[in-house]
Amino acid sequence: MSPRLLFRRAAIAEAVTWALLLTGMFLKYVTETTELGVRVFGMVHGVVFVAYCLTTVLVAVDQRWSAGRTLLGLAAAVPPFFTVLFDRYAERRSALGDAWRLRDVEPAGPVQRATAWLLRNPRRGALSGLVAVAALTGLALLVGPPA
| pLDDT tens-digit map of 13-58 | 999 999 999 999 999 999 999 988 899 999 999 999 999 999 999 9
Confidence at residue 89, expressed as pLDDT on a 0 to 100 scale: 98
User: Which residues form the domain of 55?
Assistant: 3-143
Q: Is the pTM of this model over 0.95?
A: no
Dist. CA 40–CA 70, nearest whole Å: 29
Stretch 117-146: mean pLDDT, rounded? 92
Confidence at residue 37, expressed as pLDDT on a 0 to 100 scale: 86
DSSP 29-85: IIS-S-SHHHHHHHHHHHHHHHHHHHHHHHHHHHTT--HHHHHHHHHTTSSTTHHHH
Confidence at residue 111, expressed as pLDDT on a 0 to 100 scale: 97
Above 90 in pLDDT, residue 91?
A: yes
Tally of structural domains, the chain: 1
Confidence at residue 83, expressed as pLDDT on a 0 to 100 scale: 98
Q: Which of 37-51, 53-67, 82-96 has the lowest mean pLDDT?
A: 37-51
Confidence at residue 144, expressed as pLDDT on a 0 to 100 scale: 84
Confidence at residue 146, expressed as pLDDT on a 0 to 100 scale: 66
Confidence at residue 145, expressed as pLDDT on a 0 to 100 scale: 72
Above 90 in pLDDT, residue 2?
A: yes
